[in-house]
Amino acid sequence: MTTTSSRVHVALAGNSYDIHIGHDLFTATADDLYVLLAEKQVVIITDANIAPLHLQATEKALAEFARQTVSIILPAGEASKSFGTYEQLVNDILGLPIDRQTVLVALGGGVIGDLAGFAAASLLRGLDFIQIPTSLLAQVDSSVGGKTGINTAEGKNLVGAFHQPRLVLAEISMLASLPARELKAGYAEVVKYGLLGDAEFFEWLEVNGRGVISGDTDVQAEVVRRSCQIKADIVAADEYEAGQRALLNLGHTFAHAFEAVAGYDGRLLHGEAVSAGLVCAFAFSQQLGLCSGQDVMRVTAHLQNMEMPAQHDQLAAGQAEPQVLIEQMRKDKKTRQGKLTFILARQIGEAFVAGDIDEAELNRFLETL
Ligand SMILES: NC(=O)c1ccc[n+]([C@@H]2O[C@H](COP(=O)([O-])OP(=O)(O)OC[C@H]3O[C@@H](n4cnc5c(N)ncnc54)[C@H](O)[C@@H]3O)[C@@H](O)[C@H]2O)c1
Ligand SMILES: [Zn+2]
């Protein structure tokens, strides 16, 4: 087990913060926690799967610093990112003796992070919050960058706010209890970072990636550190997604369509859809004459080697006719002036935003899936 921890700084105009990655972080970051929590009311928000595993230790650690800690346990699953759960959560928090100095702590995966983050963004016009991400997806992606929000009947993440955390603690030991399927789903976002901007990282993953799934905590810590560094650099350059932050959506136009068709009922995890979506983004780029077939093969081979879905037809849920998928892509609010926007690639490590995709070309591509 690694004893050291590493730190990634997210440099933003008015609200910079640190991501700490490693083991025993409550001890390693005691100074930061003291500054953020001393004399304050702390509300820990978590889900029913994580509570029996990690809540007690978190409560005990934070109680060393805070005036008082209270915990709220929500049902696990994407369905909690809803108006109903949000309303319940903010009412429960408002029922406590909180004030503008109260700090919320999101202890969980991306669902808890997005929901608790949105509660923090909106309660009393903005409370401080700390992310303690417990899933790989949350450690490498959702806990960093300040996007918070909930889903509506119209689609995912359509109500939300940019609200940066004050601190992120990615405690690697918490990944030990994460189910293997969730670990692989989170790994899809890791692969995404290599593919969109860092060919050398992708090469490193081709050699070391299996260590993430087999539970090698050194490899896991390195993967989280490098992923957070890439995301932090992109977010620092474009906090509100006016341009290059959109690169983080590599594979996601396809993935969101597969997820919408599957119906968000847990049969298809986001990361599984992203895995197949990444191959689609490269294969579509090849069809458009942008990248080589060899790159498509490398992406496919690595995901297959990780036993992740690399083809649309490997997704039991989420398969559909081209027209149905295109219909879903149109509803994705990331369309610009009604035009379909894709993140495409010239090669591994070199993605770009393609704003004006010809629908006939897309249809022809989807026919090949
Ligand atoms: N804000 C962003 O920038 C951003 C980026 C990517 C994804 N997201 C959002 O993240 C969400 C998906 O996140 P997720 O994959 O973490 O889902 P999740 O929060 O539902 O967690 C996945 C499952 O693993 C369980 N779990 C989490 N940590 C565990 C642990 N340490 N031990 C045992 N079980 C554990 C959870 O209870 C849940 O059942 C989606 O809603 C997505 O929209 C947000
Ligand atoms: Zn994603």
> How many distinct structural domains can be found in the chain?
2
CATH number at 188 reads 1.20.1090.10
272 belongs to the catalytic site: no
Q: Are residues 156 and 195 in the same domain?
A: no
Q: Are residues 56 and 153 in the same domain?
A: yes
313, part of any domain: yes
Q: Are residues 210 and 315 in the same domain?
A: yes
Q: Are residues 87 and 185 in the same domain?
A: no
Domain holding 209, by residue range, is: 180-367
302, part of any domain: yes
Helix ranges (DSSP H) in the chain: 25-28, 30-37, 56-63, 83-94, 110-122, 136-137, 180-197, 199-208, 210-214, 217-237, 252-262, 270-287, 293-305, 322-331, 359-367
Predicted TM-score (pTM) of the model is 0.96
Average pLDDT over residues 353-357: 90
- CA nearest neighbour of 277 among 251, 256, 313, 304: 251
Last residue of a domain, one of 151, 174, 197: 174
Identify the residue whose C-alpha is closest to ligand 1 atom 6. 142
Q: Are residues 251 and 349 in the same domain?
A: yes
Q: Are residues 348 and 202 in the same domain?
A: yes
Q: Are residues 90 and 196 in the same domain?
A: no
219, part of any domain: yes
Q: Are residues 168 and 235 in the same domain?
A: no
Q: Are residues 216 and 353 in the same domain?
A: yes
Identify the residue whose C-alpha is closest to ligand 1 atom 4. 142
In this predicted structure, what is the pLDDT of residue 316?
A: 80
Condensed to tens digits (0 to 9), the pLDDT of residues 149-176 reads 999 988 889 999 999 999 999 999 999 9
In this predicted structure, what is the pLDDT of residue 2?
A: 46
Question: Ligand 1 pocket, 49 CB below 6 A?
Answer: yes
Please give the share of the chain, as a percent, with pLDDT higher than 70.
Answer: 98
Q: Are residues 212 and 112 in the same domain?
A: no
Q: Please give the backbone phi and psi of residue 191, each rounded to the nearest 5 degrees, phi first.
A: -60, -40
